[in-house]
Every structure is written in structure tokens, then in C-alpha cells.
Amino acid sequence: MQTTTPPAPARPKRRWRWKLLGGVVLVILVTPVAFYFITGWWAERKLQELYAEIDAADPNWRWPDLIAELEPPPDEENSATQILKVQELLKKTPFDAAGTWPGTAETALLVRNARMSPERAKTLRALLDKVDPVCLSEARKLKDLPNGRFSIEKGIDNPFAMTIEWIQDTRRVFNVLQADSLSRTQAGDFDGAAESCLALLNAAHAINDHPTLISQLVRMAGVFMAIAEIERLLGQGVVSEPNLAKLKAALEREAAANVLHFGMRGERAGGHQMFSSVREGKASVSFIFGSGRKGGPPSFEDRVLDTFPGVITGGHPEYLRLMHEMTQASKLPEREREEAFQDIEAKIRKSKTFAVKLLVPAVVKVSEASQRTQAHLRSASTAIAAERYRLKKHKWPAALQDLVNEGLLKEIPKDPSDGQALRWKLTPNGGAMVYSIGRDKVDNGGNLTRGNLYLAGIDYGFELWAPPARGVPPAEAEKPGN
């Protein structure tokens, strides 16, 4: 009897496993690609809505249009051209190359009505003697150049990579002019010192509406240096009426400039231009955000970002929205602006968008600097009006309204801290002061503690001295009541 072995059962086919595996792989590959395109579509939709809103508020807000507005005046009228000339001369014979001169921030010089000690005066004179006389003469010419604007490179894809070394070099021009005024004051050439102060104000004003916050911060630093030196000048002697009028006009012109808005408008345009360049393929993400910024070779992360730039450009709408809100807020009066910036700052802290965290500037600090500068500008111009009143009437005004009545002020300037009129106070030494209540928004009676503007319990302002108390020896100035 023959028997046959039944065939072994067929092994189940595993095609379904391969199909499942293929499906999983496909999902893994497709999901990020789909996410990339969906986020890109959504970002573009939000951007178009935002463009319409910004266009209505500021038709020339885009970088090329904004830059086209900022044409410099002719060279012979352009203070910026003169500054560049002085910068080149200072490279050959620098003032204080070792960085040893502290300027009027030195503790002894914070007493504005005290003369410099002979030792300090000798040190300053030696530093100025190292500067080419031609350089100093060219710097002084800025007193006759009230208008200016630095040229800006056109056609750049990443404005944040713009060369702005000249901004820091402008500080050197500020330094030599402040030192020149200080030296002329010490020598009793008060009108000459006033001209150096005017040159310094014009040098700061030459930064004009340059569209970066850093340039506007440098401008504010120059203005503060000029005001400190003007206060010291009027603490030493008497300046003629014509020169006082010129200084007051320059200070009022500077106070009328919204430097924070200039900077924010440029930062908004520059950031948008950078994002647009990436989206249009004119610049890589890694060049802006990754190793390319530092000139290094591309890393693995850089290659990923360049492959999927939407990871970054997806934050474009939120970034532009916040920058637009801050630009609009920068046009508000100081008190309203402060509240608006605090609200925007809270949004930034809550944001999880990488581009926002990386690129949105710390504008609250810049706003505080702008408000502080405004307080000093308004106080200084009002104090000069009071000095002109004293020269005419041989006494201080009883109130700031007297300056308006005499035509020396159009109106009493507002305190940027609370929106009220600036404060006026006669001092025990026969002098007077104009002041703002400062960052703590408390009237501390004109406590003008200089040197540290962040102390509690201080005000911002400008002090004037009676002629007998001007230019006294340091030891006498430090006595109570002086």
C-alpha cells in the first residue's frame, strides 16, 4: 500500500507587512513636507493681510522704498560728509588713543560749576595737543553744518549685515568736540566752548533718520554728551545771547525728532527685507541665522534649515506683526508708548517662535533711553531760555510761564515721565534748575544726582548757577549750598 505525505501548508505571504512598512515610511516622509508647504501657505496668507494693514499706515515701509527717502544733502551742506572727513583725520592723530580720559563722566567733573584741577586741565591739554590742529579745525566747522545724513548702501538683501563702523567712529568725533569745549571753558573762552557744543549737537543730529536702533542710540549718546558739556559751560561762565539762541534752537530741533520711531521703522523694514530675501532664494537661512553669520562652514543644522527654510520663514508673520505694533507704538506720546511697549513685551515673552526670540530687539530699553534723552533735551533748552531771561532781566523767572510771556519759549515743555509741565525750582545758592521727575515718576525735589541715571530717588534735569557761584575751585564747589 503506497502512502503519500500531504503537502506542507503554504507559509502566509508577508506582503501586507511590506505594505504597512511602506505606508509608515511614506507618512514619515510626507508629513514634514506637507507641514512645510501648509505652513508656507498659511504664512503667505497672513503676510498678505499684514501687508495691506502696514501699507495703509506707511506706504513706503519696505526697505528699498524707505532707503530711497533717505537721500543725503549735497556734500558741501552735509554734516555727515564733514564727520567722515574728521574721522579719517582722527585715525592719523587720535584723541586719547589709550582711552584714559573719562570725559565729563569723571566724578570730579560731575560738579558742573567747579573748574578742573590744574592737573586735569594739563592732562586734557596734552591729549588735545596730540590731535592735528587741522583735524580740530575741521571738527569745529560742524557748528555751521546743521543738516546732514549718512548715505546708505542700496540693493542689499540682508540689512542686518550692513556695514556701520562709521557709527562707532562718530563717537570719536563726539569725544574730541566735548574735550575741545571743556578745554575752551577752562581757558575762559565761553563763546568758543559754546560753538564746540553746537558742533557736537550737529554731529549727533547728522545721524538723522538712519534706520537702525544702534545708530539712534549713538545719536542719543552724543546728545547727552553735548547737554552735559553745555550745563558745565553755563556752570563756569556767561555765554553771549546769540550763542545761547543757537544752542537753544539746536536742542529744540533735536527734541522734535522721534529717534525711536526712526530706528523702529528701519528695524521693521530691515527684518522684513531679510525674511523676503530668504523666501525669494536671494539669501540662505544659514547665512543669516546659522554658521554663515560668523563666516564658518555650514553645519548639519544649517543644511537642514537651508533645505526647509519654512521652519524659520514660518515665523515671518508673527515677527512682522510685533515689529509693526512696536513701530506704531513708537509714535505715541511717552506715557502711552511705555504702556504699549510693556504689552508687546509680554507677547514676545510668551512667543515660542524662534525668529521672534532671535530677532525682535529689546525695544523697551531703547524707549527708556529715548525718554531719558527727551527729559534732558527739554530741560536743557528751557534752562537756556531761563539764562537768556536772566541776562535780560537780571533775575531768574519766578515761573516758567514768564519765559513764554517774554517770547523765550513757545510753550512750557512737557515732562516725558508724566505729561505735566517740567518743574522749575530756585536753589539756595541763588541758582535755579529745570527738571523732569525721571524714571521713578516721583518728584524728588530736583535731586540731580549725576553719574548714575538708574539710581532710585533721582530726577533728570539741568542746573543753573548764579554768576558768583560759577567757575569756583573744586573744593569750594563741593561745600554744602554750592
**How do the domains of the chain map onto residue ranges?**
69-261+367-477
Predicted local distance difference test score (pLDDT) of residue 101: 81
Kindly report which listed range (112-116, 163-167, 218-222) carries the lowest average pLDDT score: 163-167
In the numeric block, which cell numbers belong to residue 186?
577752562
Q: What is the pLDDT of residue 197?
A: 99
Among 283-297, 332-346, 459-473, which stretch is predicted with the lowest mean pLDDT? Answer: 283-297
DSSP reduced 3-state for 296: coil
Please write the tens of the pLDDT for every residue from 431-479: 999 999 999 999 999 999 887 888 889 999 999 999 999 999 986 555 5
**pLDDT score recorded for residue 347:** 95
- Residue 34 pLDDT exceeds 70: no
Grid coordinates representing 349? 515673552
**pLDDT value, residue 99:** 79
Is the model more confident about 171 or about 155?
171
In angstroms, the CA 298 to CA 295 distance is 9
Task: Tell me what the pLDDT averaged over the chain comes to.
Answer: 89
Handedness of CA 141, 145, 149, 151 (dihedral sign): negative
Q: What is the pLDDT of residues 221-233, one digit of tens each?
A: 999 999 999 999 9
- pLDDT value of residue 302: 67
pLDDT at residue 358, rounded to an integer? 84
**What pLDDT does residue 477 have?**
54
pLDDT tens, position by position, 62-80 = 999 999 999 999 999 999 9
Evaluate whether 114 touches 108 at the Cβ level (below 8 Å). Answer: yes
Q: In this structure, what DSSP letter does residue 432 have?
A: E
Q: Which three cell numbers stand for residue 129?
A: 595737543
**Is residue 190 a contact partner of residue 233, using CB atoms and an 8 Å limit?**
yes
User: In the numeric block, which cell numbers belong to residue 56?
Assistant: 495703509
- Letter string b/e over residues 329-353, b meaning 16 or more CB atoms within 10 A of that residue's CB: bbeeebbebbebbeebbeebeebeb
pLDDT: is 102 or 16 the higher one?
102
Q: How confident is the model at residue 141 (pLDDT cuts 50, 70, 90)?
A: very high
pLDDT in tens, 381-439: 999 999 999 999 999 999 999 999 999 999 999 999 999 999 999 999 999 999 999 99
- Among candidates 386, 400, 345, 388, which has minimal Cα distance to 368? 345
Per-residue pLDDT at 157: 79
What is the C-alpha to C-alpha distance for residues 149 and 123, in angstroms, rounded to an integer? 34
Nearest residue to 381 via CA among 193, 250, 265: 250
From CA 221, how far away is CA 12, in angstroms rounded? 82
Query: Using 50, 70 and 90 to split pLDDT, how confident is the model at 1?
Result: very low
Closest of 366, 365, 346 to residue 356, by C-alpha: 346
What percentage of the chain exceeds 70 in pLDDT? 84
> What pLDDT is stored for residue 298 in this prediction?
66
In this prediction, residue 27 carries a pLDDT of 58
| Averaged pLDDT for residues 259-270 | 97
Q: Is 463 left (phi over 0), alpha (psi -120 to 50) or beta?
A: beta
pLDDT at 39 over 80: no
- What is the average pLDDT across 232-246? 98
Q: What are 95-132's pLDDT values in tens digits?
A: 987 777 877 667 767 889 999 999 899 999 999 999 99
